[in-house]
Amino acid sequence: MSAEIDYYELLEVERTANDGTIKSSYRRLAMRYHPDKNPGDHEAEAKFKAISQAYDCLKDPQKRAAYDQYGHAAFQQGAGGQGGQGFGGGDFGGFSDIFDTIFGGGGGQQQARRGADLRYDMEVSLDEAFHGKQAEIRIDVSQVCEPCTGTGAEPGTNRRRCTMCAGHGKVRAQQGFFMVERTCPTCHGRGEVIEKPCRVCRGEGRVDKPQTLEVNVPPGVDNGTRIRLAGKGEAGPFGAPPGDLYIFLHIKRHTMFERDGTTLITRVPITFTKAALGGDVDLPGIDGERLKVTIPEGIQSGKQLRKRGAGMPVLQGRGRGDLVIEIVVETPTKLSARQKELLCELQATETGEECPGSKGFFERIKGAFLGE
């Protein structure tokens, strides 16, 4: 099952984002992945195309509405191609069909409504978000009733044309000056009625059943990433197509790393002697590798060091972000008598030149006291 990354996800905006927000986020990302800026990088090019495709859809209120309701299926039905082919050039394939469904265009028998989309919340650890994960979930989903194959009629019994609507599924009624068309109350839009409802589903055509599903969580997912499992939502009523299942991901907190997009941040306490003298420290990376970090002599607390490519993988892209190592200089609190003695000796040799920041600061204060 392929994971299709949500358009909102691709553009790094909320589902409720307004046009301005979507536009500026698109510009920022388009700039970053533009082929001119990444010559020869096919992954960046693919990402650029995906972003443009997402923006093409979301900038248009009608397409956005269709996407919100139908997801990627809005642009795949009848288009024939896979993976968004024939999309970029403004060829939306079966798009108008979808609009007919939404806005009730076209006449004749009413098209049965599609099953509801479902949401499933899944927690993954940062390590799983790093490596990706093949997960199995168990959910109760309404599925097509097998004995009646979704018709709602008891096997072996007949269905007949609805007399109320003459099989159209819709009835017309005068309402004030207007003639309105509404779903037939007798057959609920099916155009036919059943003699005897199926005993298993009580005529519903669907039954709730526990289901086990495989979910492919790709590497690089973040909080709020949505994975769509097409057709794994609720079964449609009376044999109508099923809805989709959306897996909403939540990333658990990690004891060592914080995350900001593809950047990982870790705070590393070092002794003040190491801060003064410099030296190497070993850190475990998110991928389990040992990272050697060289602390330069005279490093200050709060200083950030960067390990390129030791961060999170790019979702549906190539490469990794960086690891930011924030240095925290720890002042010793449990000194032995001997160590204190050594520090006193060190202090006695201080001229102030060793610490220009502190020297300058206290000189300025002195100036302030003397009113200079």
* Contact residues: Zn ion, CB under 5 A: 145, 148, 162, 164-165, 184, 186-187, 198, 200-201
**Closer residue to Zn ion, CB minimum distance, 181 or 322:** 181
Identity of the residue, 84 or 150, whose beta carbon is nearer to Zn ion in the bound complex: 150
Q: In 32-177, which ranges are E strands?
A: 118-124, 133-144, 159-161, 170-175
CA 40 vs CA 28, 48, 147, 313: distances in Å: 20, 13, 56, 20
On whether the CB atoms of residues 48 and 56 are closer than 8 A, the answer is: no
Cβ proximity to Zn ion, 150 vs 321, nearer residue: 150
Identify whether the C-beta of residue 66 lies closer than 8 Å to the C-beta of residue 100. Answer: no
Question: CB 172 → Zn ion: shortest distance, Å?
Answer: 12
Residue type for position 100: D
Token pair 């068309």: residue: 181
What whole-number distance in Å separates Cα of residue 271 and Cα of residue 275? 6
Cβ contacts of residue 88 below 8 Å, gap of 6+? 49, 52, 53, 56
For β-strands 245-251 and 118-124, DSSP reports them as: parallel
Minimum distance of Zn ion from residue 184's CB (angstroms): 3
We find the least distance from the C-beta atom of residue 171 to Zn ion, in angstroms, to be 7
Q: Is 282 helix (H, G, I), strand (E, B) or coil?
A: strand
Half-sphere exposure of 257 (CA within 13 A, CB side): 25
Nearer to Zn ion, 167 or 317 (CB): 167
Q: How far is CA 272 from CA 276, 299, 333, in A?
A: 6, 9, 11
Q: How far apart are CA 321 and CA 314, in angstroms?
A: 7
Cβ proximity to Zn ion, 167 vs 285, nearer residue: 167
Cα dihedral across residues 330, 331, 336, 340: positive or negative: positive
CB of 13 or CB of 145, closer to Zn ion: 145
| Measured CA angle at 288 (ends 215, 137), to 5 deg | 15
Query: Please, what is the minimum distance in Å from the beta carbon of residue 256 to Zn ion?
Result: 53
The distance of closest approach from Cβ of residue 142 to Zn ion in the complex, given in angstroms and rounded to an integer, is 12
Q: Name the residue with tokens 């002794």.
A: 271
β-strand partners of 21: none
* Closer residue to Zn ion in complex, CB, 205/311: 205
Q: Determine contact, residues 147/205, Cβ cutoff 8 Å.
A: no
C-beta closer to Zn ion: residue 148 or 235: 148
Instruction: Give 141 or 198: the residue with its C-beta nearer to Zn ion.
Output: 198
Task: Output the smallest distance, CB 178 to Zn ion, in A.
Answer: 21
**Region at 370 (left for phi over 0; alpha for psi -120 to 50; beta for the rest):** alpha
Place of tokens 């044309």: 161
Q: Please report how close the Cβ of residue 238 comes to Zn ion at its closest, in angstroms.
A: 10
Q: How far is the CB of 129 from Zn ion (least distance, A)?
A: 41
CB of 57 to Zn ion, least distance (A): 36
Helix (H) or strand (E) holding 81: none
CB of residue 110 vs Zn ion: minimum separation in angstroms? Answer: 9
Distance CA 188, CA 172 (A): 14
Cβ proximity to Zn ion: between 148 and 217 the closer is 148
